[in-house]
């Protein structure tokens, strides 16, 4: 009985780790895509207003 509890606890922990890694990957991809689209719509030198972003 206790083996099943430990097994599901480890399974849930592994699922949390995988979900966290996936969320970090999605955040990086979204940030990169937003930077790319911002560069397309607002190329350097044609910004209508100053922005304090690294891209």
The per-residue pLDDT for range 16-44, each reduced to its tens digit, is: 999 999 888 888 888 888 888 887 777 66
Chain CA centroid to CA 54, Å: 17
d(CA 9, CA 17): 12
DSSP 22: H
Q: How confident is the model at residue 14 (pLDDT cuts 50, 70, 90)?
A: very high
Task: Please give the pLDDT value at position 13.
Answer: 94
Three-state secondary structure call for residue 48: coil
25-35 b/e with 16+ CB inside 10 Å = b? eeeeeeeeeee
Find the mean pLDDT for residues 8-15. Answer: 94
Round to the nearest angstrom and report the end-to-end CA distance of the chain: 55
Task: Please give the pLDDT value at position 34.
Answer: 84
Task: Please give the pLDDT value at position 16.
Answer: 93
Task: Please give the pLDDT value at position 30.
Answer: 86
């Amino acid at each position: 009985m206790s083996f099943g509890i430990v097994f599901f606890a480890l399974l849930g922990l592994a699922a949390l780790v995988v979900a966290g890694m996936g969320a970090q990957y999605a955040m990086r991809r979204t940030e990169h895509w937003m930077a790319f689209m911002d560069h397309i719509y607002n190329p350097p030198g044609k910004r209508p207003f100053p922005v304090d972003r690294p891209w």
